[in-house]
Amino acid sequence: MSRAFLVVMDSVGIGGAPDADRFFNGEVPDTGANTVGHIARACADGRAEQGRSGPLCLPNLDALGLGAAVHLASGEAAPGLGAATPVGLWGAASEVSRGKDTPSGHWELAGLPVPWEWHYFPDTLPAFPADLTQAVAQAAGTQGILGNCHASGTEILARLGAEHLRSGWPICYTSADSVFQIAAHEEAFGLERLLTLCRDIAPTLHAMKVGRVIARPFVGDAETGFTRTGNRHDYAITPPGKVLTDWVQDAGGRVHAVGKIGDIFSMQGIDDVVKGPDADLMAHLGRLVDTAEEGSLSFANFVEFDSLYGHRRDISGYARALEVFDAAIGPILRRLRPGDLMILTADHGNDPSWSGTDHTRERVPVLGAGRGAGAIGQAGFTDVAASIADHLGLETHGPGQSFL
């Protein structure tokens, strides 16, 4: 028997997406974006010295083949990585779904490319159509909404947090992703009221093919500043068909979700979920490596690379998070048993050295531990699902090909 662990390092791209010129941050195309490559370059040049220092140090990910994968994907060397011959399976995967967002990336990694065009709101003022604005205000019980624009979630709180406290109106904003985000004060507006509002309005947005309604609760005041809390909740469209989690369950295996995976798949094919900050999630992943059943899939997402550092264009923070992740995953990799496969990958890029504040279209690393060493080469996202299915002895579905 065998077990599988699929670990998504959210936004840890490695450059070189073949269609990067069709994706943008503002006016700037994503051509040339390279999350890991540019972080490694900044570290080597002494431009990532906050809370860490020196060349990017990722011995465990690099031993599996991260540096080699960066070079394969982008043609660029990542300074500090890629010196040794990989001891894992390594390759670079491209996405075919037409969104560079989290659900598109995860669904395709789970075997199902997104078959539709997502709806994106224009970067205009207002960003939302009048009937949607009215529907949200009516559901909120307010005379109107604030925001109604593209924004970074932290910047818009600094700009509109005080006005939200004065008016009581919810702050609604979007991004280059297919999202409708509602920020509201946990105490003044009420956390439960915000979650109810998002849940009630979600079917309207999903009918428009907007991927997610995201509740963004925050606390604080104008004097001390406003801070988002851990009570974020995503209300996502359901995947349009069966995915890897269903394949595992249909064969009688259990599926354990760690982090945002439950939200991203609307709990489809998932037995249980644990949430929390990434440091806690790593402890849960370690526990699953020690306890997961034969035939099971443990599916984890580590979001802080993206949410705390990529969108904030914080190169030092992103480098630090990669180094902390690397140090923590090492002992877990060493606890894998015969018959286990762990794949580490990503869902899109979010190059912190790039223009704008949105994701970047990139290839992603595919690093495999437990099934020997070797080059996978250029792969598709769906090959990840096919390979896990192959490893677990399941029938595969969809376009993916196993690289095992």
Ligand X SMILES: O=P(O)(O)O[C@H]1O[C@H](CO)[C@@H](O)[C@H]1O
Binding site for ligand X (CB under 6 A): 102, 152-153, 175, 177, 179, 181, 214, 307, 311
Pick from 305, 306, 299, 308: nearest CA to 258: 299
Work out how close the CB of 153 gets to ligand X at its nearest, in angstroms, rounded to a whole number.
2
Scan for tokens 């915000």, then name that residue: 194
Q: Which of 179/343 has CB closer to ligand X? A: 179
Residue 260's φ and ψ, nearest 5 degrees, are -70, -5
Q: Is 256 annotated as a binding residue?
A: no
Q: Residue 95: which of Mn ion, ligand X, none does it interact with, CB under 5 to 8 A by kind?
A: none
Q: Residue 340: which of ligand X, Mn ion, none does it interact with, CB under 5 to 8 A by kind?
A: none
Is 102 a binding residue for Mn ion by CB under 5 A? The answer is yes
Pairing mode, strands 179-185 and 171-174 = antiparallel
Q: Which of 247/305 has CB closer to Mn ion? A: 305
Pairing mode, strands 340-345 and 364-369 = antiparallel
**Are 383 and 93 within 8 A, CB to CB?**
yes
Q: Is 101 annotated as a binding residue?
A: no
Is 234 a binding residue for Mn ion by CB under 5 A? The answer is no
Q: Residue 153: which of Mn ion, ligand X, none does it interact with, CB under 5 to 8 A by kind?
A: ligand X
* Range in contact with Mn ion (rule: CB under 5 A) among 72-80, 301-309, 366-374, 379-387: 301-309
Q: What are the CA-CA distances from residue 82 to residues 79, 90, 252, 387, 395 (Å)?
A: 8, 12, 40, 24, 35
Instruction: Classify burial at 315, counting beta carbons within 10 Å of its beta carbon; exposed 0-12, middle 13-18, buried 19 or more.
Output: buried
**Are 33 and 75 within 8 A, CB to CB?**
no
Q: Residue 175: which of Mn ion, ligand X, none does it interact with, CB under 5 to 8 A by kind?
A: ligand X
Q: Which of 238/291 has CB closer to ligand X? A: 238
Name which of residues 323 to 382 contact Mn ion (CB under 5 A): 347
Question: Where does 95-241 show beta strands of DSSP type E?
Answer: 146-150, 171-174, 179-185, 212-221, 225-228, 233-236
Enter the DSSP assignment of 20.
Answer: G
Q: Residue 347: which of Mn ion, ligand X, none does it interact with, CB under 5 to 8 A by kind?
A: Mn ion
Selected from 3, 5, 9, 10, the binder of Mn ion by CB under 5 A is 10
Q: Is 348 annotated as a binding residue?
A: yes
Work out how close the CB of 311 gets to ligand X at its nearest, in angstroms, rounded to a whole number.
5
Work out how close the CB of 179 gets to ligand X at its nearest, in angstroms, rounded to a whole number.
4
Report how many residues bind Mn ion under the rule CB under 5 A. Answer: 4
Run of H or E residues at 38: helix 35-44
Pairing mode, strands 24-25 and 28-29 = antiparallel
From the annotation, which residues make up the binding site? 10, 306, 311, 347-348, 359
Residues that bind Mn ion (CB under 5 A): 10, 102, 306, 347
From the annotation, which residues make up the binding site for Mn(2+)? 10, 306, 311, 347-348, 359
